[in-house]
Amino acid sequence: MSNLNSPADQPPRSLLARLLPVKPSPYVWFIVPALVVLMAIIIFPWGFTLWMSLFDWKIGSAATFIGLGNYADLVHDTRFLEAIFHTLYFTALAVILPLIFGTFAALVFNHKFPLRGLLRGMFLLPMMATPVAISLVWTMMFHPQQGVLNYLLSLFGIAPSEWVYSSSLAIPCLVLVDVWQWSPLVMLIVLGGLASLPSDPFEAARLEGASTWQVFRHITLPMVLPFIMVAAVVRLIDALKTFDTIYVITQGGPGTASETINLYLYLQAFSFYQVGKASAVVVVFFVLVVALSLMLFWLRERSKWSDA
């Protein structure tokens, strides 16, 4: 009797079946559209940016391959190095200060008191407005002659300040705007963490006679720290890519005192039309964002409740 399963009697296998070691699931075709979209909006643009960064390319002229020449120019570009320092300076303040004020606000609003809902809603209002609208309002407030901030200083007999028109105060003033707008976001994240904490450790601490500071230091803070780290990651990414607030209020001035990487990139691409150099800035900036984000993710893993 002949063997019905002999290779000669089997239908020929398709090319895809011969290439794949296992039979593909029929559901694999459902992810093809997502992969196409991912290639179109993420992978291809990044690959094209890397490719452009290897060329000396100015809009209106032919591109010349220079390899890593754009990156070498950035290393010796004093303005770019200053932009990195300004970015890190702004980001450090724009992450640490909202974490402090937002956590403090979360601890306050976690307790019950009259009009808590109304005050909590008012505290969230800055987060609801658009950054450009907020920046325009703060620009008028920072005006040396007609701004309300100098008027308030005069009521206390304090000399007027130049605010964003001072090289030393430009970035702290921008941080003030950012802290005012985004501390409510940190408050929401930490408040959600406080609401999820178990009550047993707090009841045991009260029975042992622990003070309010001891409860916060040894129980509340370690248990809510993972939520604070989540807020830190969100604020880090958001602060690093801040552009609209800085551009509207100072445009990187006075001079280049508040010029961050985002403004430097904008000028290279849309003012000087140096597409190749701007692409190299994008790559460096991406590496910086990834490095700082991974550092915070590592810190977050070390702040788990079990470790605390």
pLDDT band, residue 307 (cuts 50/70/90):
very low
Together in a domain, 189 and 225: yes
Q: What's the start-to-end Cα distance of the chain, in Å?
A: 73
> Across-strand partners of 56?
64
Total domains present in the chain: 2
Taking residues 73-97, what's their average pLDDT?
A: 94
pLDDT band, residue 8 (cuts 50/70/90):
low
Residue 3 within a domain: no
pLDDT band, residue 38 (cuts 50/70/90):
confident
Together in a domain, 33 and 112: no
Together in a domain, 150 and 40: no
Together in a domain, 64 and 115: no
Together in a domain, 41 and 80: no
Give the pLDDT score at 14: 55
Give the pLDDT score at 208: 84
The boundaries of the domain holding residue 284 are: 71-301
Together in a domain, 163 and 238: yes
Together in a domain, 50 and 190: no
How far CA 200 is from CA of 197, 204, 210, in Å, comes to: 9, 6, 14
Together in a domain, 185 and 269: yes
How far CA 141 is from CA of 118, 180, 211, 224, in Å, comes to: 26, 14, 42, 36
Together in a domain, 127 and 252: yes
Specify the pTM: 0.83
How far CA 3 is from CA of 12, 277, 278, in Å, comes to: 17, 68, 68
- The CA angle 88-89-94, to the nearest 5 degrees, is 95
pLDDT tens profile 133-161 = 999 999 999 998 888 999 999 999 999 99
In Å, the largest CA–CA distance within the chain is 111
How far CA 205 is from CA of 107, 191, 216, 305, in Å, comes to: 17, 21, 10, 17
Residue 30 within a domain: yes
Together in a domain, 190 and 64: no
- What CA–CA distance (Å, rounded) separates 258 from 177? 14
Together in a domain, 171 and 195: yes
**Which of 68, 95, 129 corresponds to the end of one domain?**
68
Distance of CA 76 to the CA centre of its chain: 27
Residue 205 within a domain: yes
Together in a domain, 23 and 89: no
Q: Which of 177, 195, 184, 190 is nearest to 119 (CA)?
A: 184
| Three-state secondary structure string covering 225-239 | HHHHHHHHHHHHHHH
E strands, the chain, are 55-56, 64-65
